[in-house]
Amino acid sequence: METNWHSEITNIPGVLGVFVASGRGAVLQSEGLKIKDNELEDMSLRLLRMAAIFDHKDENVSEIELFWKNLFIICKFSSNLLLVTVCESPKVLSLLRISVNVGFSQLLQDKKMMKQAKAHATDKNIILRKGKIEDDERELLENK
């Protein structure tokens, strides 16, 4: 990738890594993570399903924060792309948000990445039908 957005995020203390996924949950790029791609895709699909529920209610969501397997996850959404940051804890959340916003902006301007993401575009209602909503996901949605 031409930009250095990912190192700005991964250099923050407590950040384990970052990955980019398509609107179908496919991992397009991963930096610094020692998590298998199939687990990253599972995480992506859960995040996409949560976002699809908000979309289904005509509420737009651009960011989700949650805990997954004792890790803090912050996810930024666009129509075809997710930027997911995996951290040990949310202690550096202010700095992390700034870096994630800048990185996400750079990512959205990356023509190669956006072309790749658009090739994986899908209807959010289809994502919503993939698998059932787990109890922990439902609980997060009810507490919004």
On whether residue 115 sits in a domain, the answer given is yes
On whether residue 142 sits in a domain, the answer given is no
On whether residue 77 sits in a domain, the answer given is yes
The lowest-confidence range among 23-27, 50-54, 97-101 is: 50-54
Which residues are bridge partners to 72 per DSSP? 67, 87
- What pLDDT does residue 107 have? 80
Tell me how many domains the chain contains: 1
pLDDT tens per residue, range 67-126: 888 899 999 988 788 999 999 988 888 888 899 988 888 887 877 776 766 665 555 555
Average pLDDT, the chain: 80
On whether residue 112 sits in a domain, the answer given is yes
- What pLDDT does residue 73 have? 94
**Nearest to 69, CA basis, from 108, 97, 42:** 42
Is the confidence at residue 24, as pLDDT, over 60?
yes
H-only helix segments in the chain: 5-10, 37-56, 93-109, 111-118, 124-129, 135-142
- pTM for this predicted structure: 0.75
Q: What span, in angstroms and rounded, lies between the C-alpha atoms of 114 and 108?
A: 7
On whether residue 140 sits in a domain, the answer given is no
Q: Residue 79 maps to which CATH number?
A: 3.30.450.30
- Domain of residue 11, residue span: 5-130
On whether residue 138 sits in a domain, the answer given is no
On whether residue 37 sits in a domain, the answer given is yes
Is the confidence at residue 23, as pLDDT, over 90?
no
On whether residue 143 sits in a domain, the answer given is no
